[in-house]
Amino acid sequence: MLSDRELEQYSRQLMLPDFTLEYQERLRASWVLVVGCGGLGSPLAIYLAAAGVGRLILADGDTVERTNLHRQILHGEADIGRSKAASAAALIGAHYPDCRVSQFTEKLQGEALNQAVSSVNLVADGTDNYPTRFALSRACIRARKPLVSAAAARSEGQLATFDVASGGACYRCLYPQEGANTALSCRDNGVLGPVVGVLGTLQALEVIKMLTGWGDSLRSRMLMMDLRSYEQSIVSIARRPDCPDCKESV
Protein backbone atom coordinates (compact mmCIF):
# COMPACT_ATOMS: atom_id res chain seq x y z
CA MET A 1 0.00 0.00 0.00
CA LEU A 2 1.11 3.53 -0.72
CA SER A 3 1.75 5.80 2.23
CA ASP A 4 -0.09 9.10 2.68
CA ARG A 5 3.06 10.90 1.59
CA GLU A 6 3.26 8.84 -1.60
CA LEU A 7 -0.42 9.39 -2.33
CA GLU A 8 0.19 13.13 -2.12
CA GLN A 9 3.39 12.99 -4.17
CA TYR A 10 1.80 11.09 -7.06
CA SER A 11 -1.66 12.63 -6.72
CA ARG A 12 -1.61 14.45 -10.04
CA GLN A 13 -1.05 11.31 -12.10
CA LEU A 14 -3.46 9.37 -9.88
CA MET A 15 -6.12 11.97 -10.76
CA LEU A 16 -6.22 10.56 -14.29
CA PRO A 17 -9.47 8.59 -14.51
CA ASP A 18 -7.77 5.50 -15.93
CA PHE A 19 -4.45 5.62 -14.04
CA THR A 20 -5.28 3.52 -11.01
CA LEU A 21 -3.69 3.03 -7.63
CA GLU A 22 -2.70 -0.44 -8.81
CA TYR A 23 -0.67 1.12 -11.63
CA GLN A 24 1.20 3.32 -9.16
CA GLU A 25 1.95 0.31 -7.01
CA ARG A 26 3.25 -1.54 -10.07
CA LEU A 27 5.67 1.31 -10.73
CA ARG A 28 6.93 1.22 -7.15
CA ALA A 29 7.54 -2.54 -7.44
CA SER A 30 9.36 -2.26 -10.80
CA TRP A 31 13.05 -2.47 -11.59
CA VAL A 32 14.32 -0.84 -14.77
CA LEU A 33 17.77 -1.04 -16.36
CA VAL A 34 18.65 2.21 -18.15
CA VAL A 35 21.62 1.75 -20.50
CA GLY A 36 23.07 5.11 -21.47
CA CYS A 37 22.95 8.19 -19.22
CA GLY A 38 23.34 10.79 -21.94
CA GLY A 39 20.87 12.81 -23.99
CA LEU A 40 18.16 10.13 -24.02
CA GLY A 41 18.94 8.58 -20.66
CA SER A 42 18.81 11.90 -18.79
CA PRO A 43 15.10 12.71 -19.23
CA LEU A 44 14.29 9.00 -19.29
CA ALA A 45 15.81 8.31 -15.88
CA ILE A 46 14.53 11.53 -14.29
CA TYR A 47 10.94 10.96 -15.36
CA LEU A 48 10.96 7.31 -14.32
CA ALA A 49 12.23 8.23 -10.86
CA ALA A 50 9.76 11.12 -10.60
CA ALA A 51 6.86 8.88 -11.68
CA GLY A 52 7.55 6.46 -8.84
CA VAL A 53 9.58 3.60 -10.34
CA GLY A 54 11.02 1.78 -7.34
CA ARG A 55 14.48 0.92 -8.60
CA LEU A 56 16.74 2.11 -11.43
CA ILE A 57 19.98 0.49 -12.51
CA LEU A 58 21.98 3.06 -14.49
CA ALA A 59 24.73 1.87 -16.84
CA ASP A 60 27.18 4.01 -18.79
CA GLY A 61 30.91 3.51 -19.32
CA ASP A 62 31.56 7.08 -20.51
CA THR A 63 32.54 10.22 -18.66
CA VAL A 64 30.95 13.65 -18.90
CA GLU A 65 32.39 16.02 -21.52
CA ARG A 66 31.68 19.70 -22.01
CA THR A 67 30.05 18.96 -25.37
CA ASN A 68 27.44 16.87 -23.53
CA LEU A 69 26.09 19.68 -21.39
CA HIS A 70 23.70 21.27 -23.90
CA ARG A 71 21.51 18.17 -23.95
CA GLN A 72 22.48 15.72 -21.17
CA ILE A 73 20.56 17.39 -18.37
CA LEU A 74 21.58 14.96 -15.62
CA HIS A 75 25.07 16.50 -15.69
CA GLY A 76 26.53 19.94 -15.06
CA GLU A 77 29.79 21.87 -15.19
CA ALA A 78 31.08 20.26 -11.99
CA ASP A 79 30.56 16.77 -13.44
CA ILE A 80 32.98 17.14 -16.37
CA GLY A 81 35.35 14.17 -16.25
CA ARG A 82 33.06 12.23 -13.91
CA SER A 83 31.41 8.92 -14.74
CA LYS A 84 28.02 9.58 -16.34
CA ALA A 85 26.44 6.72 -14.40
CA ALA A 86 27.79 8.08 -11.11
CA SER A 87 26.72 11.64 -11.90
CA ALA A 88 23.24 10.48 -12.88
CA ALA A 89 22.86 8.28 -9.81
CA ALA A 90 23.90 11.12 -7.51
CA LEU A 91 21.40 13.60 -8.92
CA ILE A 92 18.49 11.16 -8.97
CA GLY A 93 19.30 9.88 -5.49
CA ALA A 94 19.32 13.42 -4.15
CA HIS A 95 16.04 14.46 -5.75
CA TYR A 96 14.06 11.22 -5.58
CA PRO A 97 15.08 9.29 -2.44
CA ASP A 98 12.21 6.82 -2.82
CA CYS A 99 13.86 5.49 -5.96
CA ARG A 100 16.69 3.07 -5.20
CA VAL A 101 19.50 3.71 -7.68
CA SER A 102 22.51 1.56 -8.48
CA GLN A 103 25.13 2.09 -11.16
CA PHE A 104 27.52 0.44 -13.59
CA THR A 105 30.36 2.82 -14.39
CA GLU A 106 32.06 0.48 -16.86
CA LYS A 107 30.73 -0.83 -20.14
CA LEU A 108 28.00 -3.35 -19.40
CA GLN A 109 28.76 -6.52 -21.35
CA GLY A 110 29.10 -10.29 -21.16
CA GLU A 111 27.82 -12.05 -18.07
CA ALA A 112 27.39 -8.76 -16.20
CA LEU A 113 24.98 -7.64 -18.91
CA ASN A 114 23.04 -10.91 -18.76
CA GLN A 115 22.74 -10.70 -14.98
CA ALA A 116 21.65 -7.07 -15.03
CA VAL A 117 18.96 -7.74 -17.64
CA SER A 118 17.73 -10.80 -15.76
CA SER A 119 17.36 -8.79 -12.54
CA VAL A 120 14.91 -6.18 -13.87
CA ASN A 121 11.40 -6.00 -15.27
CA LEU A 122 12.34 -4.00 -18.36
CA VAL A 123 15.37 -2.60 -20.19
CA ALA A 124 15.52 0.91 -21.68
CA ASP A 125 18.17 1.48 -24.35
CA GLY A 126 19.52 5.01 -24.77
CA THR A 127 22.82 4.08 -26.41
CA ASP A 128 24.22 5.26 -29.74
CA ASN A 129 25.98 2.25 -31.26
CA TYR A 130 24.82 -0.91 -32.96
CA PRO A 131 26.99 -3.46 -31.11
CA THR A 132 25.53 -2.44 -27.76
CA ARG A 133 21.98 -2.35 -29.12
CA PHE A 134 22.26 -5.84 -30.60
CA ALA A 135 23.87 -7.18 -27.42
CA LEU A 136 21.07 -5.67 -25.33
CA SER A 137 18.45 -7.13 -27.62
CA ARG A 138 19.93 -10.63 -27.40
CA ALA A 139 20.20 -10.39 -23.60
CA CYS A 140 16.53 -9.34 -23.42
CA ILE A 141 15.53 -12.26 -25.66
CA ARG A 142 17.39 -14.72 -23.41
CA ALA A 143 15.88 -13.25 -20.25
CA ARG A 144 12.42 -12.78 -21.81
CA LYS A 145 12.37 -9.09 -20.89
CA PRO A 146 10.92 -6.23 -22.96
CA LEU A 147 13.29 -3.68 -24.50
CA VAL A 148 12.28 -0.05 -25.08
CA SER A 149 14.75 1.50 -27.51
CA ALA A 150 15.13 5.12 -28.62
CA ALA A 151 17.54 6.91 -30.93
CA ALA A 152 18.01 10.54 -31.95
CA ALA A 153 20.35 12.66 -34.06
CA ARG A 154 20.10 15.96 -35.92
CA SER A 155 16.37 16.77 -35.69
CA GLU A 156 15.17 13.17 -36.04
CA GLY A 157 14.29 10.42 -33.63
CA GLN A 158 12.68 7.03 -33.33
CA LEU A 159 11.18 4.94 -30.55
CA ALA A 160 10.17 1.28 -30.51
CA THR A 161 9.39 -1.54 -28.09
CA PHE A 162 10.62 -5.08 -28.64
CA ASP A 163 8.91 -7.79 -26.59
CA VAL A 164 9.79 -11.21 -27.96
CA ALA A 165 8.37 -13.03 -24.93
CA SER A 166 4.92 -11.74 -25.90
CA GLY A 167 5.33 -12.79 -29.53
CA GLY A 168 6.72 -9.51 -30.80
CA ALA A 169 9.68 -8.68 -33.00
CA CYS A 170 13.25 -8.15 -31.80
CA TYR A 171 15.75 -5.44 -32.69
CA ARG A 172 17.36 -7.61 -35.36
CA CYS A 173 13.98 -8.22 -36.98
CA LEU A 174 14.07 -4.48 -37.70
CA TYR A 175 17.76 -4.37 -38.63
CA PRO A 176 18.70 -7.80 -40.07
CA GLN A 177 22.32 -6.81 -40.65
CA GLU A 178 24.23 -5.85 -37.54
CA GLY A 179 25.81 -3.02 -39.51
CA ALA A 180 28.66 -0.71 -38.72
CA ASN A 181 30.14 -0.17 -35.28
CA THR A 182 28.48 3.22 -34.85
CA ALA A 183 24.92 4.26 -35.63
CA LEU A 184 23.96 7.76 -36.68
CA SER A 185 25.32 9.67 -33.68
CA CYS A 186 25.15 13.13 -32.19
CA ARG A 187 28.96 13.23 -32.08
CA ASP A 188 29.24 12.91 -35.85
CA ASN A 189 25.98 14.47 -37.05
CA GLY A 190 25.00 17.01 -34.41
CA VAL A 191 21.70 17.34 -32.57
CA LEU A 192 19.48 20.05 -31.12
CA GLY A 193 19.22 19.49 -27.39
CA PRO A 194 15.42 19.37 -27.10
CA VAL A 195 15.27 16.65 -29.76
CA VAL A 196 16.86 14.06 -27.50
CA GLY A 197 14.80 15.52 -24.65
CA VAL A 198 11.57 14.80 -26.50
CA LEU A 199 12.63 11.28 -27.43
CA GLY A 200 13.91 10.47 -23.95
CA THR A 201 10.68 11.75 -22.41
CA LEU A 202 8.59 9.68 -24.81
CA GLN A 203 10.79 6.71 -23.94
CA ALA A 204 9.96 7.21 -20.26
CA LEU A 205 6.27 7.34 -21.13
CA GLU A 206 6.58 4.09 -23.08
CA VAL A 207 8.37 2.41 -20.17
CA ILE A 208 5.56 3.50 -17.82
CA LYS A 209 3.00 2.09 -20.24
CA MET A 210 4.81 -1.23 -20.44
CA LEU A 211 5.22 -1.51 -16.67
CA THR A 212 1.63 -0.64 -15.82
CA GLY A 213 -0.51 -1.62 -18.81
CA TRP A 214 -1.86 1.93 -19.07
CA GLY A 215 -2.64 3.19 -22.58
CA ASP A 216 -1.43 1.81 -25.90
CA SER A 217 2.23 0.83 -26.18
CA LEU A 218 4.55 0.69 -29.18
CA ARG A 219 5.07 -3.07 -28.89
CA SER A 220 6.28 -4.22 -32.36
CA ARG A 221 5.78 -0.70 -33.69
CA MET A 222 8.15 2.20 -34.26
CA LEU A 223 7.42 5.89 -33.89
CA MET A 224 9.50 8.04 -36.24
CA MET A 225 9.69 11.82 -35.87
CA ASP A 226 11.37 14.76 -37.56
CA LEU A 227 11.07 17.56 -35.04
CA ARG A 228 12.21 20.18 -37.51
CA SER A 229 8.96 19.77 -39.44
CA TYR A 230 6.93 17.91 -36.78
CA GLU A 231 6.34 15.14 -39.26
CA GLN A 232 5.77 11.78 -37.65
CA SER A 233 4.61 8.30 -38.47
CA ILE A 234 4.19 4.90 -36.82
CA VAL A 235 5.14 1.74 -38.67
CA SER A 236 4.65 -1.90 -37.72
CA ILE A 237 7.66 -4.14 -37.12
CA ALA A 238 7.06 -7.68 -38.31
CA ARG A 239 8.76 -10.61 -36.66
CA ARG A 240 11.08 -12.40 -39.09
CA PRO A 241 10.71 -16.21 -39.03
CA ASP A 242 14.35 -16.54 -40.09
CA CYS A 243 15.74 -13.99 -37.59
CA PRO A 244 18.93 -15.55 -36.14
CA ASP A 245 18.41 -13.81 -32.81
CA CYS A 246 14.80 -14.62 -31.96
CA LYS A 247 13.64 -17.42 -34.26
CA GLU A 248 13.93 -20.03 -31.50
CA SER A 249 12.02 -17.93 -28.96
CA VAL A 250 8.38 -18.63 -28.19
In a domain, 226, yes or no: yes
**Strand, coil or helix: what is 146?**
coil
Q: What is the mean pLDDT of residues 81-102?
A: 97
For residue 147, what pLDDT is reported? 98
* pLDDT tens by residue, 55-88: 999 999 999 999 999 999 999 999 999 999 999 9
CA distance 248 to 250: 7
In a domain, 219, yes or no: yes
In a domain, 248, yes or no: no
What's the burial of 221, exposed, middle or buried (CB within 10 Å: 0-12/13-18/19+)? Answer: middle
In a domain, 250, yes or no: no
* pLDDT tens by residue, 182-212: 455 666 677 899 999 999 999 999 999 999 9
Mean pLDDT of the chain: 94
In a domain, 185, yes or no: yes
Q: Return the CATH number at 83.
A: 3.40.50.720
In a domain, 35, yes or no: yes
Q: Please give the residue range of the domain that contains residue 128.
A: 4-236
For residue 182, what pLDDT is reported? 47
Nearest to 186 by CA among 199, 174, 172: 199
Phi, psi of 222 (to 5 degrees): -130, 130
Q: Are 4 and 14 in contact (CB under 8 A)?
A: no
For residue 69, what pLDDT is reported? 95
Helices 41-51 and 84-95, axial angle in degrees (round to 10):
30
pTM of this structure: 0.94
CA-based R_g, the chain, Å: 17
In a domain, 242, yes or no: no
pLDDT of 250 > 60? The answer is no
Q: Residues of the chain with pLDDT > 90: what percent?
A: 90
In a domain, 245, yes or no: no
Name beta bridge partners: 148: 124, 161
Q: What are the E-state strand segments in 37-155?
A: 55-59, 100-104, 122-125, 147-153
CA distance 77 to 40: 19
Which amino acid is residue 82, in one-letter code? R
pLDDT classification of 11: cutoffs 50, 70, 90: very high
**Residues 73, 213, 116, 165: what is their CA dihedral angle, to the nearest 10 degrees?**
-130
For residue 1, what pLDDT is reported? 83
Q: What is the mean pLDDT of residues 133-160?
A: 96
For residue 183, what pLDDT is reported? 56
Q: How many domains are there within the chain?
A: 1
CA distance 80 to 212: 36
* pLDDT tens by residue, 209-225: 999 999 999 999 999 99
